[in-house]
Amino acid sequence: MSDHPKISAEEAEGHVRALLRYIGEDPTREGLLDTPARVVRAMTEHFGGYGQGPEAHLERTFSEVEGYDELVLVSDIEIYSHCEHHMVPFVGKAHVAYIPNGRVVGLSKIARVVDVYAKRLQVQEKLTAQIANAIQDALDPQGVAVIIQAQHFCMCYRGVKKAGSWTTTSKLHGVFMEEPAARMELLTLVGMNRSIGGAGV
């Protein structure tokens, strides 16, 4: 989190007006009069993760699971985030898995942890690691794996303009890194029967 003090909504709206003038627009014309306020409200929603931490979603765990110690996978969690280099969206799916070590967490909490970090300015590699590390730290499971597949608008409609390209990142902890069988089970369930994380399967 930044130590810099936040500016007011009114100040932020003034900056949006300046950007509108920068691109050659007239912020006083009818269609743009309310745009600065709308942009600031949208940014508050897009970047709501700065006001949250993952701990609140992971602090309540359950141990009455009949000794369950096999893979738990929450797949196809939709991700909407913004590139910190160009502040344009990247969108895709996250697949989050862990193998419990006596404690499990509510499934919806996994998706909420993904949102906490996705709703910040990000790079996909950092986002992947942050989700995995938060679950590792909170649950101390036998293993954690996070795989993210996303399309980056900064590649789709600017720069190289490769609209069909996907970026895949992964972060593995514990048995998913150390045991090929666990990694193969994960990739099979996710539908990615190939090596990730620099380790062959």
Among 59, 84, 125, 178, which one carries the catalytic annotation?
A: 84
Q: What is the pLDDT of residues 67-86, one digit of tens each?
A: 888 899 999 999 999 999 99
Query: Could you tell me if 108 and 65 lie in one domain?
Result: yes
Look up the CATH number of the domain holding residue 29: 1.10.286.10
In this structure, the strands spanning 72-83 and 121-122 are parallel
Query: Could you tell me if 19 and 117 lie in one domain?
Result: no
Look up the CATH number of the domain holding residue 181: 3.30.1130.10
In a domain, 80, yes or no: yes
In a domain, 4, yes or no: no
Q: Is 84 among the residues known to form the active site?
A: yes
Query: Could you tell me if 79 and 156 lie in one domain?
Result: yes
Among 83, 95, 122, 185, which one carries the catalytic annotation?
A: 83
Query: Could you tell me if 98 and 121 lie in one domain?
Result: yes
**DSSP secondary structure string, 35-59?**
HHHHHHHHHHHHTGGGG--THHHHS
Query: Could you tell me if 38 and 65 lie in one domain?
Result: no
Query: Could you tell me if 137 and 97 lie in one domain?
Result: yes
Among 25, 52, 136, 154, which one carries the catalytic annotation?
A: 154
In a domain, 195, yes or no: no
Among 152, 156, 173, 185, which one carries the catalytic annotation?
A: 152
In a domain, 168, yes or no: yes
Q: Could you give the number of structural domains in the chain?
A: 2
Query: Could you tell me if 41 and 138 lie in one domain?
Result: no
Q: What is the pLDDT of residues 3-31, one digit of tens each?
A: 678 899 999 999 999 999 999 999 999 99
Above 50 in pLDDT, residue 33? yes
Query: Could you tell me if 80 and 176 lie in one domain?
Result: yes
Among 25, 52, 86, 136, which one carries the catalytic annotation?
A: 86
Query: Could you tell me if 121 and 68 lie in one domain?
Result: yes
DSSP state of 78: E
Query: Could you tell me if 13 and 70 lie in one domain?
Result: no
In a domain, 94, yes or no: yes
Among 46, 57, 95, 124, which one carries the catalytic annotation?
A: 124
Domain of 22 in residue numbering reads as: 9-46
Among 10, 11, 15, 85, which one carries the catalytic annotation?
A: 85
In a domain, 54, yes or no: no
State the CB neighbour count (10 A cutoff) for residue 174.
18
Query: Could you tell me if 137 and 100 lie in one domain?
Result: yes
Query: Could you tell me if 114 and 162 lie in one domain?
Result: yes
Q: What is the pLDDT of residues 158-183, one digit of tens each?
A: 777 777 889 999 999 999 999 999 99
Above 50 in pLDDT, residue 123? yes
DSSP state of 196: B
Please state, in angstroms and rounded to a whole number, the distance separating the CA atoms of residues 145 and 54. 17
Please state, in angstroms and rounded to a whole number, the distance separating the CA atoms of residues 184 and 95. 14
Q: Is 30 among the residues known to form the active site?
A: no
